[in-house]
Structure 1
Amino acid sequence: MKSINIRTAIPGPKSKELAKEKEQAVARGISTAYPIVTVKGEGAVLTDIDGNSYLDLASGISSLNVGHSPKPVVDALKIQLDSFINPIFNVALHKPYIDLAKKLNQIIPGSFQKKSVFFNSGAEAIENAVKIARRYTGRKGIISFDRSFHGRTMLAMTLTGRVNSIKRGFGPLASDIHHAPYPYYYKDERTDEQLLAELRRLFQVSVPPEEVAAIVLEPVQGDGGIIIPSKRFIQEIRAICDEFGIVFIADEIQTGFGRTGRMFAMEHFDCAADLTVMSKSIAAGLPLSAITGREEIINFPDVKELGGTLSGNTLACVAALEVIQMIENENLLKRANEIGHFIKEKLSFDSKHIGEIRQIGAMIGIEIVLDKQSKASHRSFVNDVVTKCFEKGVLFMRAADGDVIRLLPPLVITDEQLHEAMSVIADTIKELERI
């Protein structure tokens, strides 16, 4: 098996120098997980300025499901650049915007008439989905869930069900936002029935259902730790929305475009949201987000009540059309499931610190615990695994509050690369447990 090319100390001298420049020029609030400077990305491999290569199992936090610099996307962008960059859709139409809207209307779950609208980021799309729901229902209240992550703009931050590194010190937050408990079957023994009862209790103690415009949820919580709810839980949320005329908003920003082994995670639960929010992997790393939903809801805002100067930029729409075609043509949904099953099998060895492996498609969360009896968090061990694997050329992210190893490999990763990456992770965990 051919190893990845680790040639110098990590991080190397050129990366260290640019990291110093970053400290001088870039606001402290922007974090970077690894102190390396990228000069090339191809498929599942990143190469830094010092000549080191890494297997990237972070995929831009699932922004790069089709890998770094996929050739069909790059070729399509070059052709588009020779014609025009972006006329601004608010000024003049362009075909890629309309073509992408038509495609999303076809592939988003739900057997109803749909329309789409585009923005720049996931947080921006979440905020606009809430705007649409409030405009349509004439109500103010929004319900989201514990441990959720919906973005860092003011309303998206308020919707997010975590405080550390998200909300602290940024108040006052947006009003009329209410949080309900979300399943966490490994550490929270409450049943779906109990969790749903607590959601309904909000209608008694916090906000009456006739004042709730929308319920917003991630079908699988990503930043929260790869938390996968039951089909019953999601279907009951759908039923509650139907019962009270509440708009169901699915945040598919991290789960969309093949990550979970389906094009969209809601397909696992045999029900559809009213509004589906997308970003990240929609355009192979270019800035783009989308809302696709029921025509009568998404079409309710009047002309000029939605938009943004750079929303739905031409290049990103061109990229998105190629991404969807790649997923379909290269059978990447099947590949996502193969990747996920392989990872779970390779990491399911006897370990005193691996409490649980949660896997849906190529979305994997490894819960690291101090011991399996207490299930207490063991963040220092996670940090050690991340650091040691980085030194061996494998990159991935943490989730939750640093308790969970999160693996989001590109769906184009080769068998050889995947085998090597899993060997590094498994060997590292075993080595650290022997210390």
Structure 2
Amino acid sequence: MTTTTAFAPRVRTEIPGPRSRQIQKTRAQEVSASVGAAIPVYIASASGSVLTDVDGNEFIDFGSGIGVLTLGHVNPAAVAAAIAQTRKFTHTLFTITPYESYVEVCRLLNAMAPGSFEKRSVLSSTGAEAIENAVKIARAATGRNGVAVVDHAYHGRTNMTLGMNYQYAPYATGAGPRPGEIYRTNNSYPYRDGLTGPEAARRAIERLEVTAGAENLACLVVEPIQGEGGVIVPADGFLPALQEWCNRHGIVIIADEIQVGLGRTGTLFASEHFDFEPDLVVTAKAIAGGFPVSAVTGRAPIMDAMITGGLSGTFSGNPVGCAAAVEILGQLQQAGTLERARAVGERIHDGLLALKDDFPIIGDVRGLGGLHGIEFVHEDGSPNPVAFGRMLSLVAERGLIALPGGDHHHVLRMLPAITISDELIDEALHILREALGAL
């Protein structure tokens, strides 16, 4: 699909603009240098799928705060619920004096998550915290220590998750030794390995049986579709084969759906695309429309394995976040929401395939719903991070925010809100075509 419509320019200044540069200068004096900024434009306001910076420049947001704003910026119902809750109380700590909204979020997640078995949930604050909780739960349930992950994975920036991530830099650089008893195996990467799902699973299982030993593994943690790893969609049959092996050996299989769950790929959970029913599902990001809430949801006997008091924390399941989450989870189940996500995905996918036909620097286009990636390659098919780095700037200069992905930062990752309009999608595709032409 080639877009020919003339679009009014959204960017009024150079990027970053003068006010953003001024703030950036202050930031360099006041904020730790270890905190990065992919695109140093400072945002003043946001609405739906458009950001406006302090210089008046507008950007179509294909980042959504790395998948947080799945239902758009400043979601009216979620914001209204959060404001109403702040007028009642903002904190008590659920494990001291509980409140109903925490229970309601858990009830909704239990009903929504894959699997017809009885479920329980526990809430926390961040995705990395929820991943650590899932590992603790699996270890308590199995009495084992080993944790298995797959290549290209990203799970967070806490100490435990640093050991689970595929990439050492920048997340673990200089942070000291990473935790042990973590074993890595192959993921399914159809564009690169050319294997069927069962073939890729067999390779992954054989590696784990040699390096970890099935009897030593408490859990296998896998993203049904990898985000930071480069929007890697596994071949059909890969995840069910891993699940069957885990079930046979008493290994808890955990789906990290922090980025790809809660409607983003056109189903409530990305696992549903692959006939995959994990024992535990980890959610965060989109769960509360921008408020920090995360969760682990799964089989009741596994979720109840830790002793009372073993989970939770000071801000786990904060009541303001829970109020927003109830609204967001309700909207995700409304008629038409997931259908719109699938329509968004089809329109983006068709547009990206048209770009691939015209620009051989694009090696692969992949994704579902509001999650897509363009893999940039050299003529020999090897990753091309230089092209990606230039593209990130070229699209920003034209009013589009996108994200890096892939082990070599060579995949342009796009996570628009699933409520985005067709007109904004077409404008974003137009910007991508212009930027590719300039590249």
Runs of 4+ deviating beyond 6 Å: none
Sequence identity (%): 37
2:127 is aligned with 1:119: no
| 1:378 aligned partner | 384
What is the alpha-carbon distance in structure 2 between the residues aligned to residue 338 and residue 197 of structure 1? 34
| 2:34 aligned partner | 29
What is the alpha-carbon distance in structure 1 between the residues aligned to residue 403 and residue 289 of structure 2? 19
Number of corresponding residues: 430
Task: In structure 2, give the amino acid aligned to 1:22.
Answer: R
Whether the aligned pair in 2 keeps the contact of 1:158 and 1:174 (CA below 8 Å) is yes
| 1:322 aligned partner | 327
What is the alpha-carbon distance in structure 2 between the residues aligned to residue 198 and residue 221 of structure 1? 18
The equivalent position to 1:230 in structure 2, one of 217, 226, 235, is 235
The equivalent position to 1:92 in structure 2, one of 90, 97, 101, is 97
| 1:214 aligned partner | 219
Whether the aligned pair in 2 keeps the contact of 1:15 and 1:37 (CA below 8 Å) is yes
Mean Cα displacement is larger for which, 419-428 or 342-351?
A: 342-351
What is the alpha-carbon distance in structure 1 between the residues aligned to residue 209 and residue 264 of structure 2? 37
| 2:375 aligned partner | 367
What is the alpha-carbon distance in structure 1 between the residues aligned to residue 312 and residue 9 of structure 2? 45
**Equivalent residues in 2 for 1:120-135, closer than 5 Å:** 120-135=125-140
Q: Secondary structure at the match of 2:333?
A: helix
Whether the aligned pair in 2 keeps the contact of 1:346 and 1:426 (CA below 8 Å) is no
Whether the aligned pair in 2 keeps the contact of 1:3 and 1:420 (CA below 8 Å) is no
Unaligned runs of 5+ in 2: 1-5
| 2:113 aligned partner | 108
What is the alpha-carbon distance in structure 1 between the residues aligned to residue 213 and residue 388 of structure 2? 42
What is the alpha-carbon distance in structure 1 between the residues aligned to residue 333 and residue 64 of structure 2? 19
**Equivalent residues in 2 for 1:311-350, closer than 5 Å:** 311-329=316-334, 331-349=336-354, 350=358
**Equivalent residues in 2 for 1:201-350, closer than 5 Å:** 201-329=206-334, 331-349=336-354, 350=358
| 1:185 aligned partner | 190
Task: In structure 2, give the amino acid aligned to 1:31.
Answer: G
Whether the aligned pair in 1 keeps the contact of 2:151 and 2:166 (CA below 8 Å) is yes
Render the CA deviation track for 1:373-423: whole Å, top value 9, x for unaligned: x21111111122111111111111010121101111111211111111111
Whether the aligned pair in 1 keeps the contact of 2:163 and 2:179 (CA below 8 Å) is yes
Superposed displacement of residue 204, structure 1: 4.3
Whether the aligned pair in 1 keeps the contact of 2:64 and 2:70 (CA below 8 Å) is yes
| 2:411 aligned partner | 404
Whether the aligned pair in 1 keeps the contact of 2:265 and 2:341 (CA below 8 Å) is yes
What is the alpha-carbon distance in structure 2 between the residues aligned to residue 194 and residue 101 of structure 1? 37
Superposed displacement of residue 216, structure 1: 0.4
Q: Secondary structure at the match of 1:187?
A: helix
Instruction: Compute the TM-score of the two structures, normalised by the length of structure 1.
Output: 0.96
The equivalent position to 1:351 in structure 2, one of 355, 359, 362, is 359
What is the alpha-carbon distance in structure 1 between the residues aligned to residue 208 and residue 163 of structure 2? 19
Superposed displacement of residue 195, structure 1: 3.2
What is the alpha-carbon distance in structure 2 between the residues aligned to residue 59 and residue 158 of structure 1? 27
2:408 is aligned with 1:393: no
Render the CA deviation track for 1:351-379: whole Å, top value 9, x for unaligned: 110111002122101111112xx211111
What is the alpha-carbon distance in structure 2 between the residues aligned to residue 19 and residue 239 of structure 1? 51
Mean Cα displacement is larger for which, 57-66 or 180-189?
A: 180-189
Whether the aligned pair in 1 keeps the contact of 2:152 and 2:229 (CA below 8 Å) is yes
Whether the aligned pair in 1 keeps the contact of 2:150 and 2:186 (CA below 8 Å) is yes
What is the alpha-carbon distance in structure 1 between the residues aligned to residue 375 and residue 42 of structure 2? 29
Instruction: Compute the TM-score of the two structures, normalised by the length of structure 2.
Output: 0.95
Render the CA deviation track for 1:184-219: whole Å, top value 9, x for unaligned: 111224454443333333454322211110000000
- Alignment RMSD: 1.4
What is the alpha-carbon distance in structure 2 between the residues aligned to residue 200 and residue 52 of structure 1? 50
Whether the aligned pair in 2 keeps the contact of 1:262 and 1:333 (CA below 8 Å) is yes
Pair 202,9 (structure 1): closer, same or farther in 2 beyond 3 Å: closer
Superposed displacement of residue 2, structure 1: 5.8
The equivalent position to 1:154 in structure 2, one of 150, 159, 167, is 159
Unaligned runs of 5+ in 1: none
